[in-house]
Amino acid sequence: MSATTHQQDDPLNRDQRAELALQAAARIQKDGPRTALITGASSGLGAEYATQLAERGEHLVVVARDGEALEALAATLRAKCGVDVEVLAVDLLDPEGVRRVVARLESRTNPVSTLVNNAGFGLPLAFELNDIEAEARHLRIHNEVPMRLMHAALPGMLERGSGRIVNVASVAAFIPRSTYSAVKQWLVTFSRWANGRYRSRGVTVSAVCPGYTHTNFHERLGLPPGEEGIPRWMWLSAPRVVADSLRDLERGKAVSIPSVKYKLLTAAARIAPPALAARIGERGR
C-alpha cells in the first residue's frame, strides 16, 4: 500500500538519525563503503531509501525515468552526505533501460552491495476494464524487472560473500486486491525463498510490506489528496517505513512489515474468509 502526500506523523528525529549515522560510520570503518542501487528513486519511498542510505554513508546509483528529479536528488545528497551519486535516467519498461541497469549491477567497478527494487505503479481494481497491455506492463515492472535485476546482482554479491536486496512489496500481498496483490505476493514468496537460500552465503533478501504510507502513489493514479477515506491511524510515514525495513534487513529478516498495527492486520487477513479479505482490499493500495 501507499498513499498521497500528507504531513508525516512519525518521522525519524535527529537523535535517531544521528545514532544510525554513527552505526554506519563504524561499519564503514570496519568493512569499507557500500554502494546502493535504488529503482524508482525520484520520489516517494525510493527517494527516502536513497536519503537514509546516503546518511549511512553508502554511495548511490539512483534509477528512474525522471532524470531532472534524479539530478536534483543527487545534488542534494552529494552536498548533504558527501557521498558519490550516479544517475541512471532510464525507463525500466524499456528493454534497453533494463540492460543498462543490469550492466551496472554486473560491473566490478564500484560494485553494488545493496539493491532496492522499488519501482512500480498501480492500476484500478476493475481488472476486466483495464487495458490488458497496461496489466502486462504492471506485471513486468513488479515481477520481471526485479527478477532480472536480482539475477544480475546475485553472482557478484555471492562471490564477495556480502550483499543486501530489498524488494518493496506491500501488505496487499496478504490481502486479495486484483493483480496488485498477486504481483506483490510473488515478491514476498520469492524473497522468502531467496533469503533462505542465500543468507548463509552472506546475502540477505527482504520483502518490505508497508501499509498506507505518505507518498505520491495515489496522485499518480489521479486521485485527489485527502480523498482516500482511510482513517488517520492507518497511515505510516515514509521515513519510518524505510528505517524499520533497513533495521529488519540488518537482522536478516525475509519479510519486514513496518508497525505493529499492520503486523496484526496481515495476521488477521490470513485467516479471514476470502470474501471479507477481498472487501478489505477494496479500501486502497
The catalytic residues are 180
User: 129: which strand partners?
Assistant: none
Q: Give CB contacts under 8 A, 24+ apart, made by 70-79.
A: 70/41, 70/42, 73/41, 73/42, 73/47, 77/50, 77/51
Residue 114's beta-bridge partner residues? 36, 164
Q: Judge whether 234 and 211 are in contact, CB under 8 Å.
A: yes
Which grid cell sits at 138? 504492471
Q: Which three cell numbers stand for residue 133?
A: 497491455
Closest CA to 285 of 190, 214, 232: 214
C-alpha distances out from residue 118 to 93, 127, 232, Å: 14, 23, 25
Alpha-carbon Rg for the chain, nearest whole angstrom, is 18
